[in-house]
Structure 1
Amino acid sequence: MIALGAVFRPQLPPERLRSVAELADRAGLDELWLWEDCFREGGIASAAAALAWTERVRVGVGLLPVPLRNVTLTAMEAAALHRMFPGRAVLGVGHGAQDGMGRAGARVESPMTLLREYLDALRALLRGERVTAEGRYVRLDGVALDWPPQGPVEVLAGGIGPRTLRLTGEAADGTILTAGTSPDRVRAARRLLAEGRAAAGRAEEDHRIVVYLLTARGADAVERVRADVLAEGAGGDPDAAVAGDAETVARAVRELAGAGADAVILQPTADEPDPEGFVRFAAEEVRPLVP
C-alpha cells in the first residue's frame, strides 16, 4: 500500500508544529514530514518533539544537509530517535541548498564526494560498527556508538540529478524526490537508482522512493500552486503539481504510485492558510481514495 503523508513546512513558526502533529496522529495520516531548511527549524529538534507528542504517525526529516552536520552527531541523534521511537523516525540526508550552505560557511568543493563518504559512514555507525575513515571530508578514528539502534534502520538521501540519483541507489536505503517530479521522472529516477544498486551489488535490496507532491485545495488553489512554482524557480515540472479536490489529488498520488513511488508526501504551498485543515484533508479525504 502506498504511504500518504504531508509536509509541515518550515515557513510556519515552530510553535505551530504541535497542533499539526497531533492532528496528523489522530486523523490517521501515515507520515508527517519536516524540513531542515536554512535558516528555519532544525530537523532533529522538530522531529523529536513531533514524535514525543504523537503515538503512531511516522515522522520524516527530508532532509538533513550534510555540510552542516558532523556525521557522528547525526548518527548519535538518529540512533537516539530510533531507540526512543522504534519504527517511527525516517531520516534523509542530502547536499542541502548550496546557497544556504555557502552563507553558513559550510559549502564544500565536492558535494558528491561528501555525500558518498557521509552515507557510508552513517550507515555503518547505525549498524553498530566501529568506523575508521580517512576521506576527503569524513575522517573518523575508531568511532562507534554506545547506543546504536536496536535493529536495522533506513537512511534515505535526497537526489535530483542523474549522478546523485545513481549515488543514492548505490549508498542509501531510499531516495527522496523533490516536488515537481512527474510520474515520468519517477520512472527515470528508478532506472538511475537501479543502476546505482547494481553497481554496488545491491540489486536485490529494497529501495524506498519518497516523492513530494506540491498540492493546493480551495477556490484559489491553481493560483497558489502557480505562485509557489514560480517562487521556487527551476528544478521541477510545474505540471507535476496538483490543485483541486480530493479526487484530483488522489489521482495524482495514484499516478506517482504507479510510476514507482512508495510514499507520496503532499506538500502544501508556502502560503497555505490552514495547515491543520490541509492535514485533515490529506488524511480524511485523500487517504480513502488511495489504495
Structure 2
Amino acid sequence: MTTLGVVFRPQNPPERLRSVARAADEAGLEELWLWEDCFLESGIAAMTAALAWTERLKVGIGLLPVPFRNVAVMGMEAATLQRLFPDRAIITLGHGVQDWMGQVGARVDSPMTLLREHIEALKALLAGETVTTTGRYVQLDKVKLDYPPLGTTPVYAGATGPKTRALACEVADGILLTAGTYAHEVAAVREAAKAITVYVYAATGPDAAERMARELESWGESERTDTTAVGDAAAVAAVVKRYQAAGADAVILQPTADEPDLEGFVRFVAQDVRALV
C-alpha cells in the first residue's frame, strides 16, 4: 500500500506547525514532511518538535543541504532523533540550492562529490561503524557514535537532475522527487531506486483550480498540469494511484502556498483520500 503524506511548507511560520502536526496525528495521516529552505525554518528543530507533539506520525525532512553540516554532527542529530522517536524520523539529504550555498559561504566546486561522501560516511556512522575517511570534502579520523541508532536508519537523497537521481539511487536508501515530477519520471528510476517518495502538487475546495494555476506559475511550471492533483477526494486519489502505478512507495501531497486550511487539508488527505487509495 502506498504511503500518503502532506508537506508542511516553511513559508508557514513555525508556530503553525504544532496545530498541523497534531491534526495529522489525530487524523491518522502517515507522514508529514518538512523543508529546510533558506532562510526559513530549521529542519532538525522543526522535526524534533513535530515528533514530540505527536504519538505515531512519521516526520520527514526533504531535504537537509549537506554543505551546511559536518557529517559527524549530522550523524549525532540523526541518531539522537531515531533513539528518541524510533522509526519515525526520515532523514533526506541533498546538495542544496547552489545560490543559497554561495550566500552562506558553503558552496563547493563539486556538489555531487560532497553529497556522495556525506551519505556514505553518514550511513557508516549510523550503522555503528568507526569511520576514517579522507575524501575531497569529508574527513573523519576514527569517529564512532557513542549512541548509534538501535535499529536500521535509512538515509534518503533528494534529486532533480538525472545525475543526482543516479547518485541517489546508487548510494542512498531511497530517493525523494520534487513536486512537478511526472509519473513517467518515477517509473524511470523505479528499477534503480531502493524506495521512492514523490511530492505531488495538490489542492481541494471550490477555488482549487485557481489556486493551483497560481502555484504552478509561481514555480515557473504552468505547463506541468499533469503533475497536479486538483479537486475532490476521488480526483486527488486518481492522481495518487497514477504515481502508485508508476512505482512510488510514498506520495506526499504538497498544498498550495495559499492553502486556507492546513489542518483541514491534512484531515482531507488522511481520511477522504486515504479511503480511496
**So what's the TM-score if we normalise by structure 2?**
0.97
Report if aligned partners of 2:91, 2:156 keep a CA contact under 8 Å in 1: yes
Please name the residue that 2:263 is paired with: 276
Aligned CA-pair RMSD: 1.3
* Alpha-carbon shift at residue 133 of structure 1 (Å): 1.2
Report if aligned partners of 1:2, 1:257 keep a CA contact under 8 Å in 2: yes
Measured at CA, do residues 67 and 39 of structure 1 come closer, stay the same or move farther in structure 2, by a change above 3 Å? same
Which sits farther off after the overlay, 33-42 or 98-107? 98-107
Q: Report the Cα distance in structure 2 between the residues aligned to 1:67 and 1:235, rounded to whole angstroms.
A: 31
The correspondence of residues 142-157 of structure 1 with structure 2, limited to 5 A, is: 142-157=142-157
Q: Report the Cα distance in structure 1 between the residues aligned to 2:21 and 2:200, rounded to whole angstroms.
A: 19
Report if aligned partners of 2:216, 2:222 keep a CA contact under 8 Å in 1: no
The correspondence of residues 135-174 of structure 1 with structure 2, limited to 5 A, is: 135-174=135-174
Report if aligned partners of 1:180, 1:235 keep a CA contact under 8 Å in 2: no
Q: Report the Cα distance in structure 2 between the residues aligned to 1:253 and 1:89, rounded to whole angstroms.
A: 23
Specify the code of the residue in structure 1 equivalent to 2:4: L
Deviations 1:134-161, CA, capped at 9 Å, x for gaps: 1111111111111000011100000111
Structure 2: give runs of 5+ residues left out of the alignment.
none
Please name the residue that 1:285 is paired with: 272
**Which of 233, 258, 283 is 2:220 aligned to?**
233
Secondary structure of the residue aligned to 1:102 is helix
Q: Report the Cα distance in structure 1 between the residues aligned to 2:53 and 2:135, rounded to whole angstroms.
A: 39
Q: Report the Cα distance in structure 2 between the residues aligned to 1:236 and 1:30, rounded to whole angstroms.
A: 30
* Alpha-carbon shift at residue 127 of structure 1 (Å): 0.3
The correspondence of residues 59-98 of structure 1 with structure 2, limited to 5 A, is: 59-98=59-98
Q: Report the Cα distance in structure 2 between the residues aligned to 1:232 and 1:98, rounded to whole angstroms.
A: 17
Secondary structure of the residue aligned to 1:152 is coil
Specify the code of the residue in structure 2 equivalent to 1:179: A
Q: Report the Cα distance in structure 2 between the residues aligned to 1:262 and 1:3, rounded to whole angstroms.
A: 6
Report if aligned partners of 1:64, 1:94 keep a CA contact under 8 Å in 2: yes
Report if aligned partners of 1:179, 1:236 keep a CA contact under 8 Å in 2: no
Secondary structure of the residue aligned to 2:56 is coil
How many residues in Structure 1 have an aligned counterpart in Structure 2?
277
* Alpha-carbon shift at residue 233 of structure 1 (Å): 2.3
Q: Report the Cα distance in structure 1 between the residues aligned to 2:95 and 2:154, rounded to whole angstroms.
A: 18
Deviations 1:79-115, CA, capped at 9 Å, x for gaps: 0000011011111000111221111221111111000
Report if aligned partners of 2:112, 2:164 keep a CA contact under 8 Å in 1: yes
Q: Report the Cα distance in structure 1 between the residues aligned to 2:174 and 2:240, rounded to whole angstroms.
A: 19
Which sits farther off after the overlay, 257-266 or 89-98? 89-98
Structure 1 moving runs of 4+ over 4 Å: none
Specify the code of the residue in structure 2 equivalent to 1:269: T
Q: Report the Cα distance in structure 2 between the residues aligned to 1:98 and 1:223, rounded to whole angstroms.
A: 32
The correspondence of residues 174-189 of structure 1 with structure 2, limited to 5 A, is: 174-189=174-189
**So what's the TM-score if we normalise by structure 1?**
0.92
Q: Report the Cα distance in structure 2 between the residues aligned to 1:42 and 1:235, rounded to whole angstroms.
A: 29
Please name the residue that 2:249 is paired with: 262
* Alpha-carbon shift at residue 236 of structure 1 (Å): 8.8
* Alpha-carbon shift at residue 247 of structure 1 (Å): 0.6
Deviations 1:139-186, CA, capped at 9 Å, x for gaps: 111111110000111000001111111111110000000001121111
